Structure 1
């Protein structure tokens, strides 16, 4: 048998190959491997000379002994001639990682050793504070007498014998003291003493004190004591300002600053002298004369201002300041007229002069002023106000000719006409104003015109307000956007309380779009909230004529006549007209039924429902209302018959199933509700009714099935929690509540339950968590109010109850808590709560619906339902 050829046969051995190494053989090197010694030059060396790398001496074994100290990482040994392959690199990386791991282990040992060494050093050489730890601890047992007997820290020598000389102690002098100017320090000390003497009220002439004994303490509170640093600063500022006034004496601000500095330092005489010199140097500066008058007494100020007007006869502030120094009107008039001789075109002087005159004299002055200053709109308007109607028209015509670009004059003319009751002329004037100003290049944007209309409304000129909005309605608007812009502006003005502007914008929109029911409804809501009953009914009558097919406008009109006007016949006739225009309207039929039921006209209501069932054959709600009425009247058999007939046609209407279950006994109701939840699987109240008829185990299973289908229903979670509590499983109830909050984190209903079920000490923190997740939720806010009420924080509790009904006025339980609080606490007004609740017409709430839907209470109105709800609340 032929043996295969080895692939290494006939080939040179690899570098550094040693035969038999795997079997334990050891390699050796002969002279033939390293060559003759003479070739390397080693044989020629004498004994005792330094051996080279190839020397055979050393330890007598024929090899070099220096290899013991060779670096193993330095490839200069046996394998330095071999190739560096990939496996070599991997091996090096492995060894390097091992070295790193070992180094980390050694590092931890080193750190532990160093820490131990530091601790030993601390034990051997403790810090000073640690050396006296035991002594500090003993100080806590010292008595007060022993403590007081401890010498002060400065008495380093302890007690001194009587015959011993006193030891002198010295301290190093700081450099700041060596650099101090002792002359300046002495001056500052003298200045402080002088100020204190002046404040004490001493008379340097007579030597007697002038202190007021009654006002001395008050003067101490108002006096300002300057420190040496303050005085030094004043001295530096004084020198600086002195340099300014000397180098540039014509610079008035320098004189003014110097005088004010002396006033601040309390040297009024020096201040007056400086400002007087400044007036001499700068007689043409207005500010320096005004400053001089303010620094002097009233009489001296008159003299100063008299000198000022000689140098500056056309300075309005100086003439006004001079008039303020006069006490009587005659003197003031003389000053003003003298000033107007020099400055006849000063509007400010004319206004000041006219303000102190009687109406007749003021009219004369105004007539003269508009001749001299025809461009002053204020003077023209002031003159027009003092004139009669005819003369005022003439004045305003002249004003328009003098100032054709002033819209204020046009508005004044419109206001004049409105004052006279000429409302038809107001719009003409405003319309002409807009056109004329546009020709003159004066064009305002919409916001500017709206602001002008708002100002007219605030001043009481309502017709001018309406005319402005009407005249500028189409400014900066495209045809397709007009309605939206007008409605948004009207709502914005309504929020700001500018009712007339909002009403004018709605009127404008209704003129352009009379067949839009939404605009009519928005305008009606405005009148309902801010208008009168008459204006509301008139608006609704116009609305139903323009939009007879809109149910909501008819219903609002009927309700307004019924509730607000107490016109029952008017409401009935309105609904009959509505049915003629909308014979198939379910809401109008049911509104007519509601009126009859509320007014306790039950036969009329039954007839209406019978007619409605014949007319509206596809309305399940009408059949449901019919069954509810019969049940409330005690006709349970008729009610059961109606609801059974209805369910044959509308099995997906959940309220029919509820009524049927309520009319049946417990066993039949279970079967009905079991079928109902299959027909209406998304109706949570049906599932809850079904669970309430079962024991806790089966109820839990029913609710779990519903939760699988509706995991985000907070009402369903709350029912499950109630089942666990009724069964006495409080732990399960808490678990379910936590799980419910995770599924519905923003449910105020669940957070309210969490607050009430929490222990008293944890309710505050739970309330804070609830407010973070649902800040403006009526349930949470009411729960916080209840918590504050329990803590007897009456004022805060009232505010929180008020917030609850503000956030959700349709929640009846909130009104019940508010009324219960108001009727329980003294100093409150529960009657106002009843009035507001009737106006809000609440519709839901756990306790509210239980009371309102009870057949025994179906005749109760909102007031009595509220009282009954409040009595049932905790």
Structure 2
């Protein structure tokens, strides 16, 4: 009975579907080989593959070319014409993209820089963390370096010891036994000649006395041979017997390596001269090698062969003359002239061999017969002439032969009289119209004539005006002949004229050329930069000329006048400074700073009446100028005219009527002891200017000096109510209310720290200081307090942080200088005090600290230098400086006196 169950293996004998590909579900694909040609089936179609990929959840690949135009292989619009409109549109789009990118670039770069700075602040490099320690290594002395112990084993690991041992043979022990022994006896057997017997391997005896005698005998025979009166040929010997032994000391012993190198080089040079005998450098090198090896005879022989093989090479003849003595060299150079008579070097070398000027002149004149067109030969010949007349005759002949040599023309002009020099320069100008040196020489000649003694100022000015016209004509002619020197080249020529003592020619060159190659809108900046660069190079005359021309073009530029005045103040005379300031106020009468500068210079010169006249003229030009009124008051007050000063202040309050004039009036009355009048002036001023904080300060200080603390408190309170953001007013109020100061110092961190320190709360002061540094991370005053708040070992590291956060702050730099002072590093402290002054010379406390330092460690010269610089800087600020300078009892004291008081008060 047959079973009805289906056979599970029957599908193996079934034929595969038409589109079946083994492993298609795993990503396989059908392929056809050469053996499958014929009965092989085709692979699945694209639809079948897509259906299978869809069942697996894969996306069908999109061919990039399926959307292309079948008629266009490269794109839909590739066949169209790219016209000018399309190009313009593309440029516009590119321009817009560039502008958008530039607009975002600044913000992007700023954001990136901020992020980078924050990252570096949070995660500094190890190099930055140990920077202060590395800087400290620069002061380590040699003794401290040598005292550093050697590095030991710090790994705390026990090292394995080599416990192997070896047995020493007996022969080694026996052999080493006699190493440390000494022989204490000599062989007493003495020979008849006085020597000792020395046993040798062969059994013979060596007598050192006989060896010494034989050596002396051989040396004497050698000397006798070389010092004979006649040689075998009958000629006198040229060997110096006395200098023979001395010459032996100069013999250089060469090592085997050097000898080997010389031999190899000799073989190479020998091959070179044989393969190419007409190559002169080969003969010269071969002779130099033999000279280096000490074989002078061989060297001379080689160079002689070189002269025979290369008779037209001047270098070979010169080398041959060098290798021979003076007499032989003359013969060699005489032969050289026969072959290379046109060589200037040969003739000059022949002249150098002569020791008599007459013989040298004879050689050089013979050379000029062969080479008349050599400028160098003419110059050497002229230099050997003893008389100016002979030199003039030679130069006259030289310029006839060489009319294009500017050097010879100028040399001839220098030897002639002024009138004949003009004729010479005119001929030179016609012969060489492209030389600017001739025109400059002509200008200098005219300038020298103008300064001849006995001429009036009018005649001198006329002749100097000709210098300007000559240089101007020269520049014009050079342009006509296509000689285009740049503006920088002309300025260098002007500086050269200044160095050689021709300031008017320098000025003429600047006038004629400084405006070349400069755009109209850039003229002022360019000329100022040129003048400053010339001044930096030490050419004050050139800088002065540039400023003079710029002021001629821009007479109404007050800043330009100020720069010119500063130049004269630094490098000129009082007369030149007075002249430039007088011209300045004439052209810029509204420039208050120029009037004040002129009046101050007159005052410093001791000419007080002239200073008053200047200020009177300034009043006429600027009747409402606050600075001029106050300058006049200061002038009268400093010179003891108190009544005049008071009248000027009353008049100033009427004419100018500014808040600062009212404040100065009150201060003046307070300094004169008229405190009631000062309070009346302040009260009148506050009605007009209730928002001016300094009026409240003056009022409060007057009450405080009278011990009327209630009135002072009321003045400060009124000021704080009117001007709540004025820091100084808050500080004055806090110091008045020292016990209750904490209520006023929420934002005045520095004063708050000082209050806490005075109260004895060091911890509270440090906490307050930390809060202040968080709010004001770049405050130099807070960082200075932070440095001193640290213990001595930590101050150095704290100062490094301060310098990073508050760069170029004078208070921080002064604090660092004081740290070096405390460590007895005198030179470094002096350098850092100088840096602090350079950062801000207006801080008087820094000057006082520097003077205090020099009083302790410096010399009298150092102290005078600090005082003089402080007087020139005239500082106005500083906590201690302002407190002392504005005290009533110090009214009228000079800067030097205030400096002394501040230095004494600092501790």
Shorter-chain TM-score range: 0.7 to 0.9
Q: Secondary structure at the match of 1:588?
A: helix
SS at match of 2:341: coil
Q: What is the CA distance between 1:41 and its match in structure 2? A: 11
Residues of 1 paired with 2:526 and 2:617: CA distance?
34
Q: Is the 8 A contact 2:787 2:795 kept in 1?
A: yes
The residue correspondences of 1:426-825 to structure 2 (distance < 5 A) are 426-563=467-604, 565-617=605-657, 619-664=658-703, 665-695=708-738, 698-704=740-746, 707=747, 716-773=748-805, 776-825=808-857
The equivalent position to 1:246 in structure 2, one of 274, 284, 293, is 274
Pick one of 228, 241, 265 that aligns with 2:293. 265
SS in 2 for 1:800: helix
Match of 2:900 in 1: 867
Task: Quote the offset at 1:834 in angstroms.
Answer: 2.5
Mark the CA change 1:641 to 1:456 in structure 2 (over 3 Å): closer, same or farther.
same
- Superposed counterparts of 1:171-250, under 5 Å: 206=222, 226-250=254-278
Distance 1:604 1:214, change over 3 A: farther
The 1:284–1:162 alpha-carbon spacing in structure 2 relative to 1, beyond 3 Å, is same
TM-aligned CA distance change 1:770 to 1:273, over 3 Å: farther
Q: Is the 8 A contact 2:769 2:786 kept in 1?
A: yes
Equivalent-residue separation in structure 2 for 1:751 and 1:219 (angstroms): 75
Name the count of aligned residue pairs. 694
Would the alpha carbon gap of residues 39 and 613 (structure 1) be closer, same or farther in structure 2, given more than 3 Å must change? closer
CA contact (8 A) 2:663 2:695 kept: yes
Pairwise mapping of residues 110-509 of structure 1 onto structure 2 (< 5 A)? 133=159, 135=161, 157=169, 159=171, 206=222, 226-358=254-386, 359-421=388-450, 422-509=463-550
**Cα distance between partner residues in 2 of 1:560 and 1:592:** 14
Q: After TM superposition, give the deviation of residue 588 of structure 1 in Å.
A: 1.2
TM superposition shift of 1:642: 1.6
Q: In 1, are the aligned partners of 2:352 and 2:360 still within 8 Å (CA)? A: yes
Q: CA deviation at 1:439?
A: 1.1
State the structure with more CA Rg.
1
Deviations 1:233-273 (Å, cap 9, x if unpaired)?
A: 32222111111111111111111111122222232222222
Structure 1 residues 161 and 744: alpha-carbon distance in aligned structure 2, compared to 1, 3 A threshold: closer
Q: 2:875 aligned with 1:846, yes or no? A: no
**Distance in 2 of aligned mates of 1:324 and 1:572:** 72
Shift, 1:343, TM fit: 0.7
What residue in structure 2 maps to residue 711 of structure 1?
none
Deviations 1:537-578 (A, max 9, x none): 222222222222222222122111112x21111111221222
Using the TM superposition, give the Cα deviation of residue 679 of structure 1 relative to its aligned residue in structure 2, in angstroms: 2.1
* Aligned mates of 1:382, 1:767 — CA distance in 2: 65
- Are residues 625 and 37 of structure 1, via their aligned partners in 2, closer, same or farther at CA, if it must alter by over 3 Å? closer
1:347-382 deviation digits (Å, cap 9, x = unpaired): 111111111222222212111111111111001101
Within-5 A mapping of 1:45-64: none
Consecutive unaligned residues in structure 1, runs of 5 or more: 1-30, 43-82, 87-130, 140-149, 164-201, 708-715
Deviation, 1:586, is: 1.4
Q: What is the Cα deviation at residue 469 of structure 1? A: 1.3
Structure 1 residues 37 and 242: CA distance shift in structure 2, 3 A: closer
Aligned-partner SS, 2:288: helix
| Residue 161 of structure 1: how far off its partner (Å) | 8.4
Cα deviation for residue 517 of structure 1 reads: 2.7
Shift of 1:494: 2.9
Distance in 2 separating the partners of 1:839 and 1:552 = 17
CA RMSD of aligned residues (A): 3.5
Mean Cα displacement is larger for which, 716-725 or 33-42? 33-42
Q: CA deviation at 1:822?
A: 2.9
Which consecutive residues of structure 2, in runs of 5 or more, have no partner in the other structure? 14-53, 58-156, 176-217, 227-238, 451-462
Q: Can you list the C-alpha shifts for 1:173-197, whole angstroms capped at 9, x where unaligned?
A: xxxxxxxxxxxxxxxxxxxxxxxxx
In structure 2, relative to structure 1, the CA distance for the partners of 1:745 and 1:460 (3 Å cut) is: farther
**Secondary structure of residue in 1 paired with 2:364:** helix
Secondary structure of 2:860's partner?
Answer: coil
Q: How far does residue 432 in structure 1 lie from its aligned partner after superposition?
A: 1.1
Deviations along 1:682-717, one digit per CA (max 9) or x if unpaired, are 321112122223346x4334221xx2xxxxxxxx43
Q: CA deviation at 1:229?
A: 3.1
CA distance in 2, matches of 1:161, 1:213: 58
Q: Offset of 1:596 from its aligned partner?
A: 1.6
Distance in 2, matches of 1:392 and 1:423, equals 18
1:414 deviates by: 0.7
Q: Which moved more, 1:534-543 or 1:647-656?
A: 534-543
TM-score normalised to structure 2 length: 0.71
**1:479-520: CA deviations, max 9, x gaps?**
444344333333333333322222222222222333333332
Residue-by-residue CA offset, 1:591-648 (whole Å, 9 max, x unaligned) = 111112212322211111111222234x111111111111112222221222122222
Describe the SS at the equivalent of 1:809: coil
**Alpha-carbon distance in structure 2 between the residues aligned to 1:304 and 1:406:** 41
Whole-Å separation in 2 of the counterparts to 1:594 and 1:693: 31
Q: Distance in 1 between matches of 2:656 and 2:627?
A: 11
Distance 1:602 1:33, change over 3 A: farther
The match for 2:859 among 802, 818, 827 is 827
Checking the alignment, whether the CA contact within 8 Å between 2:814 and 2:846 is kept in structure 1 is yes
